[in-house]
Amino acid sequence: MKLRMIKEAYEKYILPKLLDKCCSTKPVNYQRKKIVPHAKGTILEIGIGSGLNIPFYKKSKVEKIYGLDPSPELCEMAKQAAIKNEIDINFLLNGAEEIKLASNSIDTVLLTYTLCTIPNPFDALREIKRVMKSDGKILFCEHGVAPDDKVIEWQNRINPLWGKLFGGCNINRNIPNILLESGFKINDLEQMYLPSTPKIVGYNYWGNAEI
């Protein structure tokens, strides 16, 4: 009982600020700059978090943005970021396993540092595929399993504790494989360790994917 109360308080008062801090380092923001400005048309941002991508949208390309996230605290932070950046966002307080949008309605799905955390990314990607137009694109930038055995060993060792501290984040997921196994075709895949970032959390994959 006490443990559950502590967990709830941690998730409500500490975790949102911690995620906001950890996801807004200089190298991570540099990654956002490579990806987010390509979003166009009707956009669905999955796991919008505290809204750290909002300043990077190119307003002239945007018709409509849906921002989905199951955390009320993070959605509230993203709402403030939207107001500050004068961008209109329609919030969906939900997990990506059930997206309350019509099939075949989204031009761009934006996924940054979220496939690591969604409990079942395959269920989410099935829903994402449903709402995407047939010529739609996923723009992604995610951290995941590293290419070096020693780093992988540490990623696997630390992953269970990491998940408990960072809202269910997994540091050892193979992001390209998850996209491919979900039936997406990946274009322009790039990958590297981010500078000034611990290797176990710093291996990034980015690019775009289509159905």
- Positions that interact with ligand SAM (CB under 6 A): 19, 23, 46-47, 49, 52-53, 68-71, 74, 95-97, 112-114, 117-119, 124, 167, 169
- Minimum CB separation of residue 112 from ligand SAM in Å reads 4
- Minimum CB separation of residue 117 from ligand SAM in Å reads 4
Main-chain dihedrals φ then ψ at residue 32, nearest 5 degrees: -60, -40
Cβ atoms 145, 174 nearer than 8 A = yes
Tell me the C-alpha distance between 45 and 96, whole Å.
10
CB-based closest residue to ligand SAM: 49
Give the contacts of 154 (CB within 8 A, at least 6 positions apart): 199, 200
Nearer to ligand SAM, 46 or 131 (CB): 46
Tell me the C-alpha distance between 21 and 107, whole Å.
30
Tell me the C-alpha distance between 13 and 49, whole Å.
14
- Minimum CB separation of residue 149 from ligand SAM in Å reads 26
- Minimum CB separation of residue 175 from ligand SAM in Å reads 13
Nearer to ligand SAM, 42 or 112 (CB): 112
Tell me the C-alpha distance between 167 and 129, whole Å.
25
- Minimum CB separation of residue 123 from ligand SAM in Å reads 9
Nearer to ligand SAM, 53 or 208 (CB): 53
